[in-house]
Structure 1
Amino acid sequence: MSGTIAIDDRTRNRALAGGIWGTIVEWYDYAIYGFLATIIARNFFPSEDETTGLLAAFATFGIGFVARPLGGILIGRMGDVVGRKSALITTLFMMAVSTVAIGLLPTYAAIGIWAPTCLVVLRLLQGFSAGGEWGSSAAFIVEWAPQERRGFFGSLQQVSVGLGLLLGSGTAALLSTVLTAEQMGSFGWRIPFIIGGVLLPIGMYLRNNVDETPIFREEHAHAAKAPESTTRLAVKAFALTIIWTVGFYIVLTYMPTFTERQVGLSKTEALWSNTLGLLCFALVIPLMGHLSDRVGRKPVLIGSVVAFLVLVYPLFTLMLTAKSLAAVVAVQLVLAVMLAAFSGPGPAALVEIFQTAGRATWMSTAYSLAVAIFGGFAPYISTWLIKVTGTPIAPTFYLIGAAIVSLAAAWSLRETAFEKLK
């Protein structure tokens, strides 16, 4: 890392804890909706056709991503002008408030059309927050990293995303285990959303008590301006993110719905299987980040994309043929490793593409646009593809198409693992 500001391990570890815990809370709050989509569909989008209600629930899930580019631009800009810390405190507060509000929202049976309308507004607020969180937190964590360990430090941002999802999936699975289906449908689904508010004070305390990143302070002191020739780099970052976000929302969010409806698992089995996959994902990510510090970002990223290109069709075929919990768990573990191979080096790779003065804005914008266009609607698109093609293997077509685009982007990247941040 460039700069003359001295960094001690205690300060760096405190900053890392603030970045990680806040991201855990953010992604627990954001993803719990996806894990409870079938219940939300019945409470907010009642329909005689179950698939139609589920499509409406997933469309609302996807709508949250529409606001992400706007959040990426505005909060990312805040992170570049005011500081990463201020941006991260803002996103955490917004996410927690909107999540608790979803947990307290009356259902369609109580207030009619106002229920889904309010749900859409709250998902937009969540999306705005998430759009600013990702780029700001990735920049914050990687900028605090020692030069030779940026891949590992950046991977911890993705570990915290995985842990947030794991906490959400585990909470949903636990409640599904201890409560009856009727209890889950009437009040149990609200509990995970309300828990999001309980986690807020810890995250706010940690983020309030960290320092701004040294490289940002140094650049800010010199009134550095973002370079103008960043559009081409942003396009590369956008294309690189496509398989990452499509894989993420199909493998880690949509999978419980897929295995329940297409493979025949019970809701509890589907949630516990997904939780095991998330645990594997979180454990493998730092290994992949560390590997990218040794061999470079490109080999690990390309290996992950090629795996998606070649393996997703046979893996989904295995699940649909075997129709057993054991087969689903095995497939989800393999998919988790494949996704972790991208998520490990991914944050550092994107951070290293851009310069400090405009990093949070450009990262957040490129990433959020890819997520909004391709990732957020992945559960909806998967459900729609199955309906129109008549085959449950259809989600793999979407994954393979995304892999082709991201492979071209990964291949065109310059290796940045061994260079100083600028």
Structure 2
Amino acid sequence: MKLRRKKVKPITLKDVTIIDDTKLRKAITAASLGNAMEWFDFGVYGFVAYALGKVFFPGADPGVQMIAALATFSVPFLIRPLGGLFFGMLGDKYGRQRILSITIVIMSISTFCIGLIPGHATIGIWAPILLLLCKMAQGFSVGGEYTGASIFVAEYSPDRKRGFMGSWLDFGSIAGFVLGAGVVVLISTIVGEANFLEWGWRIPFFLALPLGIIGLYLRHALEETPTFQQHVDKLEQGDREGLQDGPRVSFKEIATKHWRGLLACTGLVIATNVTYYMLLTYMPSYLSHNLHYSEDHGVLIIIAIMIGMLFVQPVMGLLSDRFGRRPFVLCGSVALIVLAVPAFKLINSDVIGLIFAGLLMLAVILNSFTGVMASSLPAMFPTHIRYSALASAFNISVLIAGLTPTLAAWLVETTQNLLMPAYYLMVIGVVGLATGLYMKETANKPLKGATPAASDMDEAREILQEHHDHIEHKIEDIDREIAELEEKRNRLVQQHPRINE
């Protein structure tokens, strides 16, 4: 039976997408602001965990209060995979822009409501229950937030600048932490510790509402990404009736055809987020509760570290466009394995300069992951399943990483060994190393299922030439393989008496 060849049109200059700089800047600003608000809450929660422990779990001793407050932080991660599945499916079906507008509304309202919850002294057991419900609503919305934002930025970015543009997403995360920490310190300083425990801790959560309104306005004004719009246009040309309910998403296809991408995504997210939560969520509590620094003192050190991270973050993304994403994942993972224990010994030294140096080491390691994560993850999956696949793998991985503050606090309390968080990070470094060796390089390449994207026409010509050169090299490689197979076939034919005749 003769196979019918599917005719494939050659890629020409008309097929290269020219990205509008104004739309790109708006997309990055809107996506980063939503991400900043997400991490503003996480940052505030980590920095006021000691206060929340006293307000919502007043009957326990200080160590148990801390673990209980951090456990409330970790439990909503159980909900994130559900949110990821829900919003991921909708994002692949109806587009990225609509879903990002929905997630920021849910996130801002649930964060605002935390500030409204009365303490345990007023409503008893309902206080921690309501806190948990608000955190679960946050977890559900966040399940579609980061992945949607990273996809949005990646699909709007030129191929040669995707690392730099994507790095601004986690710049927003770090900025959200800085803002959250700064607000906590400012309010605590102004109202005093007693008033802060009584009512001042609520103010940072109230700020989520105006931030959410600004983020919603910016996101609602955005157009759909060029990559997703191209995907929809192709479907319309091939199957107009089948597009009435949006593109179809097959979870069977995600699990069977893209399992390599799922594994690479899981490993990278675990390595990044465990380091993230260890440094930026658990460390303030570690400094105050275990090392007995005042809350403000420990927070100020972390703020200084995070401000430094803001400057390093876009540099990592820029360099990854030149040298690739994998080198940064590999270097960060090796650094975790080798430097985690020395870093924590410096942190435990009781000398401010050495404490700062230890935290700075962990911060630079974290930057090597965050600088490339937002550009690496979306490139692992094709357009029609990108949101669903990435949201599923990401949030299952974050479910594991989200236990970090609780497990770290429990391990230290149980063993009385202040180096337990360092050993934890060393194990995660092994996970990151395996991921870096396993994942494929995606820098300067079009997203799967998308045509090349460029900043201007000159760059488009260069990209097209590189694309054609790449095809020529692949054809040459295939020709060599065919010649080797033909030679092998001839040898085998000569060894067979009947075929040889």
Structure 2 length normalisation: TM-score? Answer: 0.81
Number of the residue aligned with 1:301? 329
Q: Name 1:400's counterpart in structure 2.
A: 426
1:285 maps to 2:308: no
Task: Give the Cα–Cα distance (whole angstroms) in 1 for the partners of residues 316 and 14 of structure 2.
Answer: 25
Q: Residue 2 of structure 1: CA displacement?
A: 10
Matched residue count: 420
Deviation of the 1:46 alpha carbon: 1.5
Selected match of 1:117 from 98, 105, 129: 129
CA distance in 2, matches of 1:180, 1:30: 22
Q: Is the 8 A contact 2:37 2:211 kept in 1?
A: yes
1:97: Cα distance to partner?
0.5
1:327 counterpart = 2:339? no
State the alpha-carbon separation in 2 of the partners of residues 147 and 266 from structure 1. Answer: 47
| Residue correspondence of structure 1 range 234-253 to structure 2 within 5 A | 234-253=262-281
Q: Write the distance in 1 (CA, Å) between the matches of 2:183 and 2:133.
A: 24
**1:335-392 deviation per Cα after TM superposition (whole angstroms, max 9, x unaligned):** 111100111011111111111111111111111111112x211111011101121111
Structure 2: stretches of 5+ with no match in the other structure? 1-12, 236-246, 449-501
Pick from 378, 389, 402 the counterpart of residue 376 of structure 1. Answer: 402
CA contact (8 A) 1:78 1:86 kept: no
Matching residue of 2:440: 414
Query: Per-residue CA shift, 1:18-42, capped at 9, x if unaligned?
Result: 1122221222134321211010000
Aligned-residue sequence identity (percent) comes to 35
Quick check: 1:3–1:218 contact (8 Å CA) kept in 2? no
Q: Specify the code of the residue in structure 2 equivalent to 1:340.
A: N
2:346–2:357 Cα contact (<8 Å) kept: no
CA positional deviation for 1:273: 0.9
Residue of structure 1 in register with 2:261 after alignment: 233
Distance 2:381 2:171 in 1: 22
- Choose 67-76 or 225-234, whichever is displaced more: 225-234
CA distance in 1 between partners of 2:426 and 2:59 (Å): 32
Root mean square deviation of aligned Cα = 1.6
Change (3 A) 1:296 1:7: closer
Check the 8 A contact 1:242/1:403 in 2, yes or no.
Answer: no
Q: Quick one: which of 195, 207, 216 aligns to 1:195?
A: 207
Task: Provide the residue aligned with 2:374 in structure 1.
Answer: 347
Matching of residue 41 in structure 1 with residue 53 in structure 2:
yes
Contact preservation (8 Å) 1:131, 1:364: yes
Per the TM alignment, residue 230 of structure 1 is displaced from its structure 2 partner at its CA by: 1.4
Tell me the residue number matched to 1:317: 345
- Which residue of 1 is the match for residue 7 of structure 2? none
What is the distance in 1 between the residues matched to 2:173 and 2:386? 20
What is the one-letter code of the residue matched to 2:25? N
> In structure 1, the residue corresponding to 2:333 is in which secondary structure?
helix
- 1:359 corresponding residue in structure 2: 386
The aligned amino acid for 2:144 is G
Letter in structure 1 aligned against 2:216: M
Deviation at residue 225 of structure 1 after TM alignment: 5.8
Amino acid at match of 1:101: C
Match of 1:23 among 29, 32, 35: 35
Q: Deviations over 1:303-333 (max 9, x none)?
A: 111111110101101121x213332222222
Stretches of structure 1 lacking an aligned partner (at least 5 in a row): none
Q: Is 1:132 aligned to 2:159, yes or no?
A: no
Match of 1:73 in 2: 85
Letter in 2 for 1:284: V
Structure 1 range deviating more: 248-257 or 16-25: 16-25
SS at structure 2 position matched to 1:419 = coil
- Could you tell me the TM-score, scaled by structure 1's length? 0.96
Instruction: Provide the secondary structure at the position in 2 that maps to 1:180.
Output: helix
SS at match of 2:419: coil
Conserved in 2, the CA contact under 8 Å of 1:91 and 1:129? yes
1:118-159 Cα offsets, whole Å, 9 max, x none, are 111111111111111011000001111111011111111111
Match of residue 336 from structure 1: 363
What corresponds to 1:273 in structure 2?
301
Q: Which range moved further: 15-24 or 296-305?
A: 15-24
Distance 1:169 1:3, change over 3 A: farther
Of 227-236 and 142-151, more deviation after overlay is shown by 227-236
Contact 1:139 1:360 survives alignment (8 Å): yes
Q: What is the rounded CA distance, in whole Å, between the counterparts of 1:325 and 1:130 in structure 2?
A: 35
SS class of match (2:222): coil
State how 1:44-123 maps to structure 2 within 5 Å.
44-123=56-135
Q: Within 1, Cα distance between the matches of 2:360 and 2:232?
A: 43
**In structure 2, C-alpha distance between the alignment counterparts of 1:54 and 1:263, rounded to whole Å:** 14
What is the aligned counterpart of 1:10 among 4, 17, 22? 22
Q: Which has the larger radius of gyration?
A: 2
Q: Which sits farther off after the overlay, 236-245 or 117-126?
A: 236-245
Q: Counterpart of 2:492?
A: none
Cα distance in 2 for partners of 1:48, 1:86 equals: 44
* Partners of 1:2 and 1:44 in 2: CA distance: 60
